[in-house]
With several copies, the nearest count.
Chain A
Amino acid sequence: MPSIRKPLIPLAPLPVNELGLTLRDYEGGMSTLCAGCGHDSITAAITRAFFELSLPPEKIAKLSGIGCSSKTPTYFVSGAHGFNSVHGRMPPIVTGANAANRSSIYIGISGDGDSLSIGAGHFVHAVRRNVNMVYVIENNGVYGLTKGQFSATADVGSSAKKGAANETPPIDPVILALSLGATFVARSFSGDKGQLIPIIKAAVEHKGFALIDVISPCIQFNNHEGSTKSYHYVREHEIKEIDQVYIPPSGEITAVLPEDGIVKVKMFDGSTLAFRTLPPHYDPRDREGAMHYVNQARLRREIPTGLLFIDEDAPDVHELNSTTDTPLVDLPYESLCPGSGALARFMEGFK
């Protein structure tokens, strides 16, 4: 929930979703972030996407590391369990939770510092394992909570609030994830809910690791002139060349797309993703093409956003592990303990 207080009594009855819940039911505690922080907009987009998807709040598990970004899981879906863990270690924690209970919907919120510095090794391996989760990097190019150090995503030439310019080349989480075989890779901008909400929905439906790198300006430490992660800079350089609409399993299409350059992807649960791509031949199932496209745009100082790559066929962590369909936490003890008889037989091997 963003930090602007809402009137306590709604003026008109609020719209409800399939579960009969209102948007309010997907909100969380009051945000304690700076007014205007990009992260709050992402929170709002998640809130709305989850509401529109009619996700049962108790089925949502929201986890994070440490940072301003990592505080945000408190600000959406109070009815969901949350875990604000330690800096950089959210990916393994989600991996373990997911292994234990595959029936929940896991959303991990991280920062560029959290994911690409201290957590870089874990990020890499969560991608590799194709852990079934939505992974949001709230990317502001800076360490917000510790007050403004450059992060690993700061662009060369981007200047700090105090004037020093970054020299070290950045890590682009999109390129990194693509090169590691990620199965769902998107980029968006906190200021663009119209694009972000359908991406979040698609990410929830995706079977496997769904990365959403969201440029999310830090108004406190990285929104000045010279920063390439400022509202101003992103607005100037963002190209929404790749846009998409999320079509739920019911098949009811809520937005009309120009037929030109449409790509449809069938999701695991029967829903459909329809892309409108401006470069007419962009193929979101071509990994190298996506990398090439993003790399070229970077040279032009452009930031292409949208769902850039998807592979619905790759096995996820549970397929790789052949985990039983029943969540492990729900297996009764009897199905886990071989019992005294088996033990006695096993002992025979050690006589």
Chain B
Amino acid sequence: MTLSDNLETELNHTSRYVATSGVNDFAIRFANVNGTGSASANNLLLKSIFRMGIPVSGKNLFPSNIQGLPTWYELRVNGKGHTARASEFDLVVAMNGQTYREDVASLKSGGYLLYDSSWPLPKELMREDVNILGVPLSNLCTEPFPGSKERVLLRNIAYAGAVSALLDLDHSIVSEMLDEKYKKNEILRSSNQIALTIGYNYAKENFECPLPIRVAPLGVNANKILIDGNTTAALGCVYAGATVAGWYPITPATSIAENFLKLCERYRTFEVTRPDGTVEVKRNFAVLQAEDEIAALGMVVGAAWAGARSFTSTSGPGISLMNEIIGLAYYTEIPAVIINVQRTGPSTGMPTRVQQADLMTCAYASHGDTKHILLFPADPNECFSFAAKAFDLAEHFQTPVMMLSDLDIGMNDWVVDKLEWDDNYVWDRGRVLNSEQLAELPNFLRYSDPDDDYVTSRTLPGKDSKGAYFTRGSGHDRFGGYTESPEAYQDVVDRLTKKLQRAASYVPEPIIKSKPGSNLGVITIGSCEAAVLEALEILDEGGVSLDYMRLRGFPFDQSVRKFIDDHENCIVVEQNRDAQLRSLLILDLGVDPNLLRSVLSYGGFPLSTKSVVEGIEDLIKD
């Protein structure tokens, strides 16, 4: 145990990770039943707070089911910008009888409980040490909304109204948002406005509004947007010039392909007039819903072989199925972009919950000796830029590139910097020879003449007979010919090793935040960032100073090695059971396992600051 034992005494053991609640600093949990339309109410609140210029986050904890099961929405407001998942709440809106017990338990002492007081307070919701706010939501909605289905939906808007009064939300912003949302449907617009007002007025009239937990406008969101990572990943593919997507539906990746289709329909269609005068809409893209994930990646590889930028998006089970073709692309050196929006495994696991548990399987996917380039975005902004980057890397290195997003990033709305695009961007198509270049060669040999990155030049079918060669997943030599000779075979696979090593200096460099003098480092990845950064701040306040490194790509660059070497010990924080990121560091950099310790979280909910603080403290104490 070399981890700074001496620091232990300096630690403050009160619940520092539970941000003291107050103005612009609180967390709310909405407990709903899925399929009842609560999402729009919760989203309304999230977005209104965002528009008031306050840092906010919303985490949707939903079941793998369409209707009738518990679903939660957790909203955290934090003026300092700490928006990792909270683990205790200042306000609980309890709309689901099935989960009353755990909902009320998640409430902090002194917190607020809002329930539908059309019926007597259920005994499971009783708690002496909290403030109970009964709003007769159902009763309030009975008269204005006679349809029972409508009423179920609008009851949610009514609680949003009440909450907005309690938190002191800018009523004009909230109301304006409803106008925007239903601008094409006056009936819905007005019923939503009515429901909002009912709730709002009830709270104003019956409670002391605002509560001590409330918002106060800030101006920090001017250059921010509120967006999910699957939308931005799809945008990244559009901006990278991807033309072919092969995909198969799977939660939580589905909305990438669906968004890509929608975006392409918006930006990449044009009308042509047929000879008979009718108008046809033509598409500068092809989105192919495949029969399964094997086919999806097969289509991507076929399209990439033919020269298109192509990608697929999937999640764990899809990656398992793609294993064989990933190896084919690796060995034949065909670019392929795979976006893996990770969920909880193994097997079907919990499809609507988050983990980062496909790191190993992706790094070494397929049988035989293989290794792949991985990108690890941490938020929707990076999903955009890394998705685009994935195509450059895939084509530059002629190999599969996997972007490992996750359900938290992909499906929740995050406040991030506005996306930006450099119009001077030039796509890196890699070494593709055109007819003029071919004409200058005595002959074309597919796997010969590597450049400094150990990449050889390729040609595209349909273009020039001189560039014709035979792509094969079976043994081939540097000329592209079939071989079963040990030397000729090794020659090619040895180049692949070196090529992948070179990629380390092309993937996005790690984000490092060092303080002078700290000899402990924390290493993390992807969606852990917010919780880890907040945890480090809390630990710092308690006198434990740790340096920070977030990895953004694999293979690991020497800068990663240097960070580890510069510290006595490092703690790797990640969301899986088997410490997979730590494993990759050990294997790829040859780090002594004793120098890397783990804080793991793998229950399926987005990482909370609390679990990171506690995890690190436990290690330091040991």
A34 and B35 contact, CB distance less than 8 A: yes
Report the minimal beta-carbon distance from A195 to chain B, rounded to whole angstroms.
27
Q: Give every chain B residue within 8 A of A350 (Cβ-Cβ).
A: 225-227
Of A35, A122, A340, the contact of B67 (CB 8 Å cutoff): A35
> For chain A, what secondary structure do more than half of its interface residues adopt (helix, strand, loop), or is it mixed?
mixed
- For A151-188 the 0/1 string (1 means CB < 8 A from B) is 01000000000000000000000000000000000000
B294 and A92 contact, CB distance less than 8 A: yes
- Identify which of residues 239-264 in chain B touch chain A, using a CB-to-CB cut-off of 8 Å: 239-244, 246, 248-251, 254
Residue B285 is within 8 A (CB to CB) of chain A in the complex = yes
Of A83, A100, A343, the contact of B420 (CB 8 Å cutoff): A343
B226: nearest chain-A partner, CB-CB: A350
Residue A125 is within 8 A (CB to CB) of chain B in the complex = yes
Of B69, B244, B246, the contact of A32 (CB 8 Å cutoff): B69
B66 and A33 contact, CB distance less than 8 A: yes
- For A313-342 the 0/1 string (1 means CB < 8 A from B) is 000000001111101110101011111101
Residue B206 is within 8 A (CB to CB) of chain A in the complex = no
Q: Give every chain A residue within 8 A of B285 (Cβ-Cβ).
A: 328
Residue A265 is within 8 A (CB to CB) of chain B in the complex = no
Q: Give every chain B residue within 8 A of A79 (Cβ-Cβ).
A: 465, 468
Residue B288 is within 8 A (CB to CB) of chain A in the complex = yes
Of A61, A68, A149, the contact of B249 (CB 8 Å cutoff): A149
Of A92, A324, A333, A335, the contact of B246 (CB 8 Å cutoff): A92
Residue A247 is within 8 A (CB to CB) of chain B in the complex = no
Residue A81 is within 8 A (CB to CB) of chain B in the complex = yes
Tell me the complex Cα distance, A322–B281, Å: 7
Q: Give every chain B residue within 8 A of A211 (Cβ-Cβ).
A: none
B474 and A339 contact, CB distance less than 8 A: no
Residue A117 is within 8 A (CB to CB) of chain B in the complex = yes
Tell me the complex Cα distance, A224–B604, Å: 35
Q: Give every chain A residue within 8 A of B462 (Cβ-Cβ).
A: 58-59, 61, 81, 101, 103-104, 327, 329
Residue A53 is within 8 A (CB to CB) of chain B in the complex = no
Known contacts being A83-B471, A86-B317, A86-B348, is A92 close to B238, with CB within 8 Å? no
Known contacts being A143-B249, A145-B66, is A78 close to B468, with CB within 8 Å? yes
Tell me the complex Cα distance, A234–B215, Å: 53
Tell me the complex Cα distance, A271–B226, Å: 57
Tell me the complex Cα distance, A118–B322, Å: 13
Q: Give every chain A residue within 8 A of B51 (Cβ-Cβ).
A: 351
- For B305-324 the 0/1 string (1 means CB < 8 A from A) is 11110100000010000001
Residue B203 is within 8 A (CB to CB) of chain A in the complex = no
Known contacts being A33-B67, A86-B317, A99-B286, is A339 close to B470, with CB within 8 Å? no
Residue A281 is within 8 A (CB to CB) of chain B in the complex = no
Tell me the complex Cα distance, A74–B462, Å: 17
- For B161-202 the 0/1 string (1 means CB < 8 A from A) is 000000000000000000000000000000000000000000
Tell me the complex Cα distance, A63–B39, Å: 34
Residue A208 is within 8 A (CB to CB) of chain B in the complex = no
Tell me the complex Cα distance, A66–B470, Å: 14
A147 and B419 contact, CB distance less than 8 A: no
Report the minimal beta-carbon distance from A246 to chain B, rounded to whole angstroms.
24
Residue A263 is within 8 A (CB to CB) of chain B in the complex = no
Report the minimal beta-carbon distance from A73 to chain B, rounded to whole angstroms.
8
Tell me the complex Cα distance, A125–B418, Å: 41
- Identify which of residues 88-102 in chain A touch chain B, using a CB-to-CB cut-off of 8 Å: 88-89, 91-101
The total of chain A residues at the interface (CB under 8 A) is 80
A85 and B246 contact, CB distance less than 8 A: no
Report the minimal beta-carbon distance from B559 to chain A, rounded to whole angstroms.
30
A152: nearest chain-B partner, CB-CB: B291
Known contacts being A81-B461, A351-B226, is A86 close to B328, with CB within 8 Å? yes
- Identify which of residues 520-555 in chain B touch chain A, using a CB-to-CB cut-off of 8 Å: none
Residue A120 is within 8 A (CB to CB) of chain B in the complex = yes
- For A62-82 the 0/1 string (1 means CB < 8 A from B) is 010010100001100011111
Residue B472 is within 8 A (CB to CB) of chain A in the complex = yes
Binds A, one of B111-119, B295-303, B370-378: B295-303
B292 and A328 contact, CB distance less than 8 A: no
Of A59, A98, A101, the contact of B307 (CB 8 Å cutoff): A101
A92 and B298 contact, CB distance less than 8 A: yes
Residue A144 is within 8 A (CB to CB) of chain B in the complex = yes
Of B239, B246, B291, B308, the contact of A329 (CB 8 Å cutoff): B308
A328 and B302 contact, CB distance less than 8 A: no
Of A89, A103, A351, the contact of B325 (CB 8 Å cutoff): A89
Tell me the complex Cα distance, A220–B235, Å: 28
Tell me the complex Cα distance, A205–B386, Å: 42
Residue A240 is within 8 A (CB to CB) of chain B in the complex = no
- Identify which of residues 449-491 in chain B touch chain A, using a CB-to-CB cut-off of 8 Å: 459-465, 467-474, 482
Q: Give every chain B residue within 8 A of A103 (Cβ-Cβ).
A: 462
Residue A150 is within 8 A (CB to CB) of chain B in the complex = yes
- For A299-324 the 0/1 string (1 means CB < 8 A from B) is 00000000000000000000001111
B347: nearest chain-A partner, CB-CB: A86
Residue B4 is within 8 A (CB to CB) of chain A in the complex = no
Report the minimal beta-carbon distance from A332 to chain B, rounded to whole angstroms.
9
Of B254, B281, B290, the contact of A92 (CB 8 Å cutoff): B290
Sorted nearest first, the 3 A-B pairs with minimum C-beta distance are A96-B302, A92-B298, A81-B461
What are 10 A-to-B residue pairs whose CB atoms are below 8 Å? A81-B460, A81-B468, A117-B248, A145-B66, A147-B254, A328-B286, A336-B242, A339-B423, A343-B235, A350-B227
| Chain B residues within 8 Å of A, Cβ to Cβ | 35, 51, 64-69, 225-227, 235, 238-244, 246, 248-251, 254, 267-270, 280-286, 288-296, 298-308, 310, 317, 324-325, 328, 347-348, 418-423, 425-427, 459-465, 467-474, 482
| Chain A residues within 8 Å of B, Cβ to Cβ | 3, 32-35, 56-59, 61, 63, 66, 68, 73-74, 78-89, 91-101, 103-104, 113, 117-118, 120-122, 124-125, 143-147, 149-150, 152, 220, 321-325, 327-329, 331, 333, 335-340, 342-344, 346-347, 350-351
